[in-house]
Structure 1
């Protein structure tokens, strides 16, 4: 199978590679979501040593920078309550934590969640966190530019491998909300 974006040597339906995914991601891929069949979610096997965006793009194609999305776990605080959420923006953008995220979560303060929290709560590896298979009830804030992409490269839950999914399919994930101005 040939991946619809990038120059990957090893691509196939993610449903055929559930063993390479973390448990929460494998469960989500297996059942699909929002009318997206599991066969339409593509897994590309990659070297975990180049999981970070810059090295990854250098190896698999410069066009991926505009078609890759970063998934970041944030912690919104108001009083004693903490709300964990995920933000998904194209790799060339930053997340507007102090504006769009804070406003959407109704938090007084928002910061990126500590690595231990992000990894422990999601059941995914740092550097591979993905919006697919998030814990129940977590808000998933998505920049409209991500949804507008025909195909988007995202994490797979591990540093080894990535998922390629239709941009519109990401807006159908549980807890997803498209937030204008999320990516700046």
Structure 2
């Protein structure tokens, strides 16, 4: 995992509280240090391309802007839950950038990489991982991307 790997912590949690909003409220964790890993996909020449986006809970991935361009597809969207679970081998609500299928790009929003510590899923609903944000940029296949996500306030103003 690179720099910061020795600073990774794992904590058990109530699996019914794995979803970000419930977790943050129950465990008094700020949304600004909670990161979500979302699976996105798009097709190019009949081939589906997948990527994982790691974004802060205070933001939303710019799926049809930055993500679409990075995947080099005409249209990108969030992968359906069943598909994301099957392809990653992880539980929904616990998907993490650690241990994703080989070859998948991991797009890490620059705000995540700039956060001293972030909380992410562990692959299962009954635990979370705390690690330095910069360590996520050191994962195999990871790329730190400026503007990968927009703040929730910006998204609300655009709709």
Q: TM-score, normalised by structure 1?
A: 0.79
Matches within 5 A, 1:87-166: 87-166=53-132
3-state secondary structure, aligned to 1:150: coil
Q: Match for residue 75 of structure 1?
A: 41
Q: Match for residue 23 of structure 1?
A: none
Matches within 5 A, 1:7-22: none
**Where has structure 1 moved over 2 Å in runs of 4 or more?**
none
Q: Match for residue 11 of structure 1?
A: none
Taking CA–CA contacts closer than 8 Å with sequence separation of 6 or more, which of the two structures ends up with the larger relative contact order?
Answer: 2
Alpha-carbon distance in 1 for matches of 2:53, 2:146:
12
Q: Match for residue 86 of structure 1?
A: 52
Structure with the higher fraction of residues in strand conformation: 2
**Residue ranges of structure 2 left out of the alignment (5+ in a row):** 151-159
Q: Is contact 1:89-1:95 (8 Å) kept?
A: yes
Structure 1 residue 35: Cα displacement = 4.0
Q: Is contact 1:64-1:153 (8 Å) kept?
A: no
Alpha-carbon distance in 2 for matches of 1:173, 1:64:
24
Q: TM-score, normalised by structure 2?
A: 0.91
Structure 2 residue 14 is matched with structure 1 residue 47:
yes
Alpha-carbon distance in 2 for matches of 1:113, 1:95:
13
3-state secondary structure, aligned to 1:94: strand
3-state secondary structure, aligned to 2:61: coil
Alpha-carbon distance in 1 for matches of 2:97, 2:57:
14
3-state secondary structure, aligned to 1:104: helix
Q: Is contact 1:78-1:109 (8 Å) kept?
A: no
Alpha-carbon distance in 2 for matches of 1:71, 1:167:
13
Alpha-carbon distance in 2 for matches of 1:96, 1:168:
21
Alpha-carbon distance in 2 for matches of 1:57, 1:162:
11
Structure 1 residue 36: Cα displacement = 3.9
